[in-house]
Amino acid sequence: MTIIGHTLGFPRIGLHRELKYALEYYWNGKIKENKLLEIGRTLRRRHWKQQKDSGIDWIPVGDFAWYDHVLTTSMMLNNIPNRHRTDQENDNLTTLFRISRGYSFNKKLIPPAEMKKWFNTNYHYIVPEFVHTQEFRLNWMQLFDEIDEALSLKYTVKPILLGPISYLWLGKVKGKKFDRLSLLPNLLSVYQEILDILSSKNIDWVQIDEPILVLELPFQWLEAYLSTYEQLHGTVKLLLTTYFDNIYHQLDIITQLKIDGLHADLVSNSDNIPLLHAQLPKHWVLSAGVINGRNIWKTNLHNWFKKLSPLVGERKLWIGSSCSFLHSPIDLNIETKLKKHIKEWFAFAVQKCCEIKMLCTALNAKYADDSTHEDILSEYYVSNNLRSDSSAIYNIQVKKRLEDINEIAHSRCAPYATRVTLQHKKLNLPLLPTTTIGSFPQTKEIRKLRFRFKNNQINKEDYHLNIKNYIKEIIIEQEKLGLDVLVHGEPERNDMVEYFGENLNGFIFTQNGWVQSYGSRCVKPPVIIGDISRSKPITTEWINYAQSLTKKPIKGILTGPVTIMYWSFPREDIQRKTIALQLALSIRDEVIDLEKFGIGIIQIDEPALREGLPLKHSDQKKYLEWAIDVFRITVSSVKDETQIHTHMCYSEFSDIMDSILALDADVISIEASRSDEKMLQSIQYVTKNLNEIGPGIYDIHSPNAPTQNELITKINQLLKYIPKQRLWINPDCGLKTRSWPETKQSLSNMVSAAKLLRKQSYLP
């Protein structure tokens, strides 16, 4: 019984983000389709080879996608929204990109399909749409073509399919309401056809992803698993894969399924190997997901060796990544700027493949009573065990501050009802105050300036002078526009998380640690390696300068601790909560400094607060409690008359409404430009209790500037739900990616709409 090594998928974007650039060139008409196809083929070949060369036995196929793998599945099932269909009889890449990006028709934008976060990751998938008359049929042969491609290169291929029930769960009903599960019989007939084709290609194993099994599912969805796998089983062997959390709560159902193996993520949430071994049918493969697909630290292989050893010879065992390596950067070897002893702590996707191989080899050797490989595993982790001696990691002052954390207030002095009077008196803002979320357009010149400074092509004095000139321009524009609360515009910030990471102790940065966020968009998360502290003020120079230029209040913008943590690769030797508290104390120092210099409005952005939410409801309460505490510690130092804002980039928050209230921010701005009734009711609930709110009144991503009349209609709609004393007027997100002309046009219409409404005596 040889122990097999496999991955659940490999990053598709390419070591140098080749896919990103190819897509963008293709969209801009700079390369033709055949060139794009060729680049895709080159990347797939390279990624298969990298895995094979690292010792992976089963090569995954089906992880490559032109935009997103859920969208590829929709294409394969011929689930294409009518508005995106092309005229041609056969669907092509144009159709695929219409779904993901929208397109213009008769000067009107046909909207793309919705994008949503992939479970609790920072990857976004394209949400499948289901209509009442939905019919699935096999279409779009990408998977089969890629399998042929890999087979022709003599790889042992393990195709990946997104399982039918997860597919239905992840989609949404459009138009007339109906139960998505009613589509299952038709859907299964297509899956059956797919499996038949795979079988005809002599495929042995198929990886069928059913990640929703980690959630707490309604009974009828769980029950559907029984009949589904009864029907699908028999043609090829099925490895049912789950990831991002444990599945112990579902074992009663899972163990009854007609499948041939189960993959469990043993990294995300408490491994219980003995339980799995005891419960799973004896003939099943257990695929142990022990190599973390979502972080970049080396694996303590010897630890896993000890845990898995009792199973050797007892059951068919596979070793794999916890989830797809989609969420990991590709290759540590090309990082040239990391200090040698620090670099030794990490493993990217390629190195993680080698880890899988090492663990397989040691376990296989154990089966043959050979223990030499065990020593290799211990040796491998030595550098990480020595980490505790590193001064880059431990900071005694940070430890001391955390121990004393209960000596500082965890909430503001006075309740909102008292604060609001003081704040309104001090700020003296008109009704329906207008503001923006924080960032202004980042022109090519600004990016170039930062690049030159980073590469020592200009000195600090020149750089600061230039940044201040941009701030001045941004202030002048805002005054011209007539906005009530101004911002400094953030020209000095490359990214809202990276910027703070670069200015705090405890972070390092990679050169090429890119991870796909959606489509061609990638992020390069900072790495938290040690205790976090702030040595000196980060933003005060810029924000104070902005305030010196105007009599209007400047809102100081800071990124919140929870967001900085979730958009970084966190360390794994301490709890998330501890990391967040260290960040909270650092940002708290910044808040204190801003207030000291007379900044009367401070906004803490927490777009990732919701992202950190555990997947199981039963785990959420605990998370929300500490996340709220972290926010409150960040801002509790300020005087009652200082106004605290927070911004969140999502509109679905009815389920965490009470937590948003518990943040006790004075003003929250949210992404609500496309608000529906449910959303408005949520807002009404907030404002009835406390807080002022700025539901974004227009979508900054829309290519057409909203007209004054459209904005008036929107504000009037909001006023039906929100008392006029509590409503702020702002766009739905930062303006960093927008151009100046459209920004000016939209903001000008926004300000004039607010002014017009203020004048009207019939304002409710």
Residues marked active site are found at: 701
| 257 vs 733, beta carbon nearer Zn ion | 733
| 32 vs 701, beta carbon nearer Zn ion | 701
Residue 500: which residues within 8 A CB-CB, separation 6 or more?
538, 558, 559, 564, 587
Rounded CA-CA distance 350/364 in Å is 21
| 80 vs 672, beta carbon nearer Zn ion | 672
In contact, 585 and 630? CB cutoff 8 Å: no
Q: Helix, strand, coil % (nearest 5) of the chain?
A: 45, 15, 40
Closest contact distance (angstroms) between CB of 650 and Zn ion is 8
Of residues 195 through 214, those in contact with Zn ion by CB under 5 A are none
| 547 vs 743, beta carbon nearer Zn ion | 743
In contact, 463 and 449? CB cutoff 8 Å: yes
- Tokens standing for 314? 């007892």
| Of residues 632, 626, 622, the one with CA closest to residue 663 | 632
Closest contact distance (angstroms) between CB of 709 and Zn ion is 25
| 559 vs 568, beta carbon nearer Zn ion | 559
State the binding string over 449-488 for Zn ion (x if CB under 5 A, else -): ----------------------------------------
Of residues 59 through 78, those in contact with Zn ion by CB under 5 A are none
Instruction: Pick the piece of the chain touching Zn ion (CB under 5 A) from 194-202, 337-345, 394-402, 644-652.
Output: 644-652
| 627 vs 733, beta carbon nearer Zn ion | 733
Instruction: Pick the piece of the chain touching Zn ion (CB under 5 A) from 365-373, 560-568, 648-656, 735-743.
Output: 648-656
Q: Is 326 in the site for Zn ion (CB under 5 A)?
A: no
Q: Is 609 in the site for Zn ion (CB under 5 A)?
A: no
Instruction: Pick the piece of the chain touching Zn ion (CB under 5 A) from 124-132, 576-584, 641-649, 653-661.
Output: 641-649
Rounded CA-CA distance 51/355 in Å is 11
Helix axes 540-548, 576-596, angle to 10 degrees: 30
Closest contact distance (angstroms) between CB of 184 and Zn ion is 37
Place of tokens 């041939």: 260
Dihedral angle sign, alpha carbons of residues 721, 724, 726, 732: positive
Consecutive H or E run containing 51 = helix 33-53
Closest contact distance (angstroms) between CB of 732 and Zn ion is 7
* CB hemisphere CA count around 160 (13 angstroms): 26
| 398 vs 649, beta carbon nearer Zn ion | 649
Residue 380's region, left for phi above 0, alpha for psi from -120 to 50, else beta, is alpha
Rounded CA-CA distance 299/319 in Å is 13
Q: How many chain residues interact with Zn ion (CB under 5 A)?
A: 2
The amino acid sitting at 401 is R
| 148 vs 742, beta carbon nearer Zn ion | 742
Instruction: Pick the piece of the chain touching Zn ion (CB under 5 A) from 61-69, 347-355, 438-446, 725-733.
Output: 725-733
Closest contact distance (angstroms) between CB of 439 and Zn ion is 9
Closest contact distance (angstroms) between CB of 161 and Zn ion is 34
3-state secondary structure of 648: strand
Rounded CA-CA distance 40/149 in Å is 12
| 251 vs 608, beta carbon nearer Zn ion | 608
Closest contact distance (angstroms) between CB of 696 and Zn ion is 8
Instruction: Pick the piece of the chain touching Zn ion (CB under 5 A) from 21-29, 230-238, 534-542, 728-736.
Output: 728-736
Closest contact distance (angstroms) between CB of 718 and Zn ion is 18
Rounded CA-CA distance 693/659 in Å is 15
In contact, 210 and 159? CB cutoff 8 Å: no
Closest contact distance (angstroms) between CB of 684 and Zn ion is 22
Strands (DSSP E) contained in 242-300 are 261-265, 285-291
* CB hemisphere CA count around 755 (13 angstroms): 11
Instruction: Pick the piece of the chain touching Zn ion (CB under 5 A) from 539-547, 623-631, 643-651, 752-760.
Output: 643-651
| 487 vs 649, beta carbon nearer Zn ion | 649
Rounded CA-CA distance 166/211 in Å is 7
Place of tokens 């008036």: 712
DSSP state letter for 379: H
Of residues 519 through 578, those in contact with Zn ion by CB under 5 A are none
Q: Is 733 in the site for Zn ion (CB under 5 A)?
A: yes
Place of tokens 């059913």: 210
Q: How far does Cα 89 stand from its chain's mean position? A: 36
Instruction: Pick the piece of the chain touching Zn ion (CB under 5 A) from 546-554, 577-585, 727-735, 751-759.
Output: 727-735
| Of residues 577, 659, 570, the one with CA closest to residue 610 | 659
| 162 vs 613, beta carbon nearer Zn ion | 613
Rounded CA-CA distance 256/366 in Å is 31
Closest contact distance (angstroms) between CB of 693 and Zn ion is 14
In contact, 229 and 257? CB cutoff 8 Å: yes
**123 φ, ψ (degrees, to nearest 5):** -90, 145
Consecutive H or E run containing 192 = helix 184-200
- Burial code of 654-673, b = ≥16 C-beta within 10 A, e = fewer? eebeebbbbbbbbbbbbbbb
Rounded CA-CA distance 178/172 in Å is 10
| 69 vs 736, beta carbon nearer Zn ion | 736
Rounded CA-CA distance 396/723 in Å is 49
Q: Is 496 in the site for Zn ion (CB under 5 A)?
A: no
Instruction: Pick the piece of the chain touching Zn ion (CB under 5 A) from 52-60, 76-84, 400-408, 645-653.
Output: 645-653
Q: Count how many residues are written for the chain.
A: 764
Judged by CB under 5 A, the residue of 332, 420, 587, 649 near Zn ion is: 649
Q: Is 217 in the site for Zn ion (CB under 5 A)?
A: no
Consecutive H or E run containing 546 = helix 540-548
Rounded CA-CA distance 616/618 in Å is 5
| 649 vs 711, beta carbon nearer Zn ion | 649
Q: Is 187 in the site for Zn ion (CB under 5 A)?
A: no
DSSP state letter for 731: -
Closest contact distance (angstroms) between CB of 437 and Zn ion is 6
The angle formed by the CA atoms of residues 726, 588 and 682, to the nearest 5 degrees, is 30
Instruction: Pick the piece of the chain touching Zn ion (CB under 5 A) from 298-306, 336-344, 513-521, 731-739.
Output: 731-739
* Burial class (CB within 10 angstroms; exposed 0-12, middle 13-18, buried 19+) of 510: buried
Closest contact distance (angstroms) between CB of 701 and Zn ion is 11
Closest contact distance (angstroms) between CB of 673 and Zn ion is 11
Q: Which residue ranges make up the site for Zn ion (CB under 5 A)? A: 649, 733
